[in-house]
Amino acid sequence: MPYLFTSESVSEGHPDKVADQISDALIDNFLAFDPASKVACETLVTTGQVVLAGEIKTDTYLDVQKITRDVIRKIGYTKSEYMFEANSCGIFSALHDQSADINQGVDRKVENADFETLANAQGAGDQGMMFGYATNETDNYMPLPLDLAHAILREMSNIRNNELELMPYLRPDAKSQVTIEYSDDDQPIRIDTIVVSTQHDDFADDATMLAKIKDDIINIVIPRVKAAQKAELHGLFTDNITYYINPTGKFVIGGPHGDTGLTGRKIIVDTYGGKGAHGGGAFSGKDPSKVDRSAAYATRHIAKNLVAAGLCDQVLVQVSYAIGVAKPCGLYVNTYGTAKVDMHDGAIAEKVGQLFDMRPYAIEQRLKLRNPIYSETAAYGHMGRKNEIVKKTFGSNGQTIELEVELFTWEKLDFVDQVKAAFGL
């Protein structure tokens, strides 16, 4: 029987995402000047106020206030009427040294050691389980409802930042949601419902405002999102989609003034929109020694390469750790009955464990995670993004450096040939 599945996304101006972006900007700056930095940084944002808290072990000094204001300014909170504004908001920092009890199991000193010694010396930064997922229903191997929800808000952000004359009332805070009907064999049939709530400037008349925003979303934003999809998905965009645009009505008060934001509260938006599974640990604000982040990226890397190699149509990969221990406690694979090889999922998992070294140090090295690559992950999802090399500039304590870094390394299809060879595909 056909079924409906829904995923949501939030914009870079959503208060929780403002917090994520500040935390990850701090991570990037610490790593830029000291790649060995250990950082766990939480951010709270509310009316006119930012609070930074967390544990840091680093050899560098940062102007955390300047970094925070730069992030807020880039997002678009630059007007006093927002009640949260880059130049005037208060910033309180409660960052302090990392616990030596935690650090001793994660950062064991080994002089002039080879890869194996280093990989066995660096234990996981915490216990827990992490999941990666991939499906062949989109070109980027992401679930379609989430991919479309992200796409709607990215297009609105593009308009707000580059073509504001099209929708001149847009403010930074927004949410989207997409419901898709699937067939019995898990194929998307049609888009059932699209929900968009966007913060906006004040209008003289509420009815005029609602009509204008709904018309612009349906006739400007959605056609652009449709055009960006592969041709076989265009048929999902029918005239029978149910739209809920700003369904509560007026949405002038938004951002951190409308709702307090915290780092790590949008973990489903950050991953797979509710498809697959989630271990519960947030990503933003954590350096890669925290396996909540690095192992989630590594399992996505595995899942994407398995599906891209043709091993299965969709797959969930789980890994688990004990704090301070390098070797994973377990590796689990679920192909949902879509495997193209005559093997049980347990046997597939065993072979996958031989292909991918899941010790934390090995993950950091394979995916180049000790680089300042995290600001780009903090809005519109950590998965399904474009792998590319960019130049980034950082300034601290009178020093400026420019670094060339590779973004979203976990999205690379660099293990496809090895997967095919291992499974005889």
- Binding positions are 14, 16, 42, 55, 98, 173-175, 250-251, 259, 265-266, 282, 286, 290
Task: Mark the binding-site residues for L-methionine, compressed into ranges.
Answer: 55, 98, 259, 290
User: What order of strands is seen across the sheet that includes strand 128-135?
Assistant: 128-135, 314-321, 330-334
Task: Mark the binding-site residues for ATP, compressed into ranges.
Answer: 14, 173-175, 250-251, 259, 265-266, 282, 286
**Sequence-separated (6 or more) residues with CB below 8 Å from residue 258:** 15, 173, 199
Q: Is 303 helix (H, G, I), strand (E, B) or coil?
A: helix
Task: Mark the binding-site residues for Mg(2+), compressed into ranges.
Answer: 16
Q: Indicate the residue type of 191.
A: I
Residue 403 near residue 390, CB atoms below 8 Å: no
Instruction: Give CA–CA dist 72/16, Å, rounded.
Output: 12
**Sequence-separated (6 or more) residues with CB below 8 Å from residue 165:** none
Task: Mark the binding-site residues for K(+), compressed into ranges.
Answer: 42
Residue labelled with tokens 């949410």: 175
If one counts every other C-beta atom within 10 angstroms of the C-beta of residue 402, the result is 9
The three-state (H, E, C) secondary structure of 94-125, written as one string? EEEECCHHHHHHHCCCCCCCCHHHHHHHCCEC
Angle 385-160-168 (CA atoms, 0-180°, nearest 5)?
160
Going by C-alpha positions, the residue among 40, 38, 159 that lies closest to residue 108 is 38
Instruction: Give CA–CA dist 227/234, Å, rounded.
Output: 8
Q: How many residues does the chain have?
A: 425
If one counts every other C-beta atom within 10 angstroms of the C-beta of residue 377, the result is 24
Query: Measuring CA to CA, how many Å separate 162 from each of 17, 21, 96, 149, 343?
Result: 21, 20, 39, 20, 51
Going by C-alpha positions, the residue among 14, 276, 253, 250 that lies closest to residue 150 is 14
Angle 10-12-14 (CA atoms, 0-180°, nearest 5)?
60
